[in-house]
Homo-oligomer: A and B are copies of this chain.
Amino acid sequence: MDDGTIVVPRLIERKRDGGALAPAEWRALIAAYVADRVPDYQMAALAMAVVFRGLSEEELVALTAAMRTSGDQFHLEDLRVAGIGPMARVDKHSIGGVGDKTSLLLAPMLACLGVAVPMISGRGLGHTGGTLDKLEAIPGFNTRLSLAAARRQLERIGVVMVGQTPELVPADRKLYALRDVTGTVESIPLIAASIMSKKLAESLTGLVLDIKTGSGAFIQDPAQSLVLGQTMIGLGEASGCRTIALCTAMDRPLGSACGNALEVREAIAGLRGGGPADLMEVTFALGADMLVAAGITADRAVARGAVEGVIRSGAALDRFRLMVEAQGGDPRAVDDPERLPRAPVSRPVTTASAGVVVAVPPRPIGHAIVSLGGGRMQADQAVDWSVGVELSCVPGQRVAAGDRLATVHARTEADAASAVAAIGRAIIIGERAAPLALISHRITREGIDVLT
């Protein structure tokens, strides 16, 4: 296309040859792409050139802003919750993993602490789960709210957990679908622009990123994880959104429950103060930094005390129940988990040999859940919320022959048998385990702190 301002082949050639596009060129390009005036084949060639050449800081900021403003935005600058405000607005974003249900705890927790949580989440794809699928395991829970309805709920109870509307950041939806089929997903600047354009469209004042590391993470190279974190923090801070990242372990699932309804159960147990230690530790660390990012306190110990407090007091559980009810879900499921979907067949995975649990790799467990019907390989697949895997072991644990390592929850005996076999193969028993540190790095605009 050539609308008098940009000639796309010249822009592609410039990027290909190591040059930079001007901010106005990124704006014009993204606007034209969303309006279908730039064809997919030109955007695919440009994306591949970006994979090789990267983006300058100025280009990255311009691209992210152009994507963020490509459709509606979730304008909350004047938000008042229960008549009080305007107030800080924070969110947490995870790069994806298996068993990661921290969002279900954090959103109500932070809402109890005087900040608004306008959380827009995604669905599971491939081996990773998604918050929307977990929420929908609660009978009746509606994640498809309009921005106006989401805002009304925020004004009332300070928290809403919804899916992206079609009007929000359409450039990212279109570009991500294209990147997915053109080998151009693996680009730090394109990943950062994709995530941050969506998060910044929520008009946040603070954001905490959970960057997963290890074999089950989207990015498996630890150095690249740090670069991604720094890149996203730069984008957040450039837009006036205080952004903090924690690097957390995804060489094993987080917590014990993997699978949508199972994870809701475990999240509710966590809201009652009884979640697995690793889940609670990551939740408290992320929650404390959400409070710091919100500007409520700069003292992380104080923040940690506050987020632990809303669990201890039961306030977070109450807020969760309120949110479930507000979004059409059955609030009785919060107090009686038997009201959540439960798979008819449960079968144990046991170990034939004694030793130490060396590895509980997230990818094969995630893929087993997909095979059970609890995840999806294509974006349009339906999921069965009831199925999944409950782990009974963690890396480093000593086991005897015959010990239970996990429990498979399936629709049929045949499904259970193949998942039992797959998980039995995946969990490695040996002599010594060297799991990653649960939380290895904290990244802020000031730099990287090694936490181990």
Contacts and interface: CB of A to CB of B under 8 A. Distances in A.
Contacts of A52: 48, 52
A58 interface: no
B183 A13 contact: yes
A90 interface: no
B16 A48 contact: yes
Q: How many copies does the complex hold?
A: 2
Interface residues of A, number: 26
A404 to B, nearest CB: 37
A42 B178 CA distance: 9
A187 B47 CA distance: 17
Contact of A45 (B15, B16, B183): B183
Interface string A26-68: 0000000000000111111111110110000000000000000
A182 interface: yes
Contact of A9 (B16, B40, B47, B183): B183
B40 A39 contact: yes
B51 A182 contact: no
A10 to B, nearest CB: 8
A39 B182 CA distance: 10
A132 interface: no
B45 A12 contact: no
Interface string A181-210: 111101000000000000000000000000
A16 B39 CA distance: 21
Contact of A44 (B15, B44, B180, B186): B44
A51 B17 CA distance: 10
Given A48-B49, A49-B48, A12 B42 contact: no
Contact of A182 (B12, B184, B186): B12
Nearest to A49: B48
Contacts of A46: 183
B51 A16 contact: yes
Interface in A126-182: 178, 180-182
Contacts of A178: 41
A189 to B, nearest CB: 15
A45 B12 CA distance: 12
| A15, A39, A46, A182: most-surrounded residue (chain B CB, <10 A) | A182
A45 B182 contact: yes
A180 B40 CA distance: 15
Given A182-B9, A183-B13, A42 B42 contact: no
A44 B179 CA distance: 12
A181 B7 CA distance: 10
A41 B15 CA distance: 17
A16 B181 contact: no
A29 to B, nearest CB: 13
25 contacts: A8-B181, A9-B181, A12-B48, A12-B183, A13-B183, A13-B186, A16-B51, A16-B183, A40-B40, A40-B41, A41-B41, A41-B181, A41-B182, A42-B44, A42-B181, A42-B182, A44-B45, A44-B48, A44-B182, A45-B45, A45-B47, A46-B183, A48-B52, A49-B183, A52-B52
Nearest 7 CB-CB pairs, A to B?
A12-B183, A48-B48, A45-B182, A40-B41, A41-B44, A13-B183, A44-B45
Interface of A: 8-9, 12-13, 15-16, 39-49, 51-52, 178, 180-184, 186
